[in-house]
Amino acid sequence: MDTVVVYESLWGNTAAIAQAIARGFGNGAVALTTDKATPSVVARARLLIVGAPVHAMNLPTDASRTSAMSKVYGRPGLHADVSHPSIRDWLEAVPPADRQFAAFETGIRGPLGHGAARAITSRLTALGHTPIEEPRTFTVALVTGSAEPAALLIGGQEEKAVQWGEHLATVMAASRAKDSPHRP
């Protein structure tokens, strides 16, 4: 796995975006939950694309995840999936390395809908990883009457994620071409 999209998703929104990014990237990119993106998987990746939902202008915390468990959307009821470790905890286990990465978040419109990708970027940069692109935000609504996973995603966000995945693949291809020895 050359490219791994790692995500935390409580309501399926960030998962849908991660999967769309992996589809857009192509070339065997995979979207994995935090428990599947083990240190050995990360060690084999050339590019990490890491995403999480925005909670209180930052990464989800244990307290915000617990709060999310009390919310139910639609009927018969969509409950928060907290069965995987948080991105916050996953980032604590990422070893230092010189690896390329990109960060994304799912959040509401406006200033309160940002902060998770910035926290991901800060942590990975501190570990020696190199960002290849500015972080991206994919927009979600505050409420939905639907019990379907990813129901909070605003229309068109998955398509934007596919396009961003395609763009990241182009950036990585250009980087590989630049790093390859030139042959006459």
Kindly provide the residue ranges of all beta strands, DSSP E only, lying in 54-172, ordered along the sequence.
72-73, 78-79, 100-107, 130-131, 136-139
- Both tokens of 96, joined, read 């230092």
pLDDT in tens, 42-94: 999 999 999 999 998 999 999 999 998 888 877 777 888 999 999 999 999 99
Q: Which CATH fold would you assign to the domain 3-179?
A: Rossmann fold (3.40.50)
Residue 44 CA, distance from chain mean position: 18
Does the pLDDT value for residue 184 go beyond 60?
no
- Both tokens of 62, joined, read 């244990």
pLDDT in tens, 118-177: 999 999 999 999 999 999 999 999 888 888 899 999 999 999 999 999 999 999 998 777
Neighbours of 117 (CB within 10 A): 24
User: Residue 136 pairs with which residues in a beta bridge?
Assistant: 104
d(CA 115, CA 111): 9
User: Residue 52 pairs with which residues in a beta bridge?
Assistant: 105
> DSSP character for 4?
E
| Sign of the four-CA dihedral 38, 41, 43, 49 | negative
pTM over 0.85: yes
**Region 3-25 average pLDDT:** 97
- Domain regions of the chain by residue span: 3-179
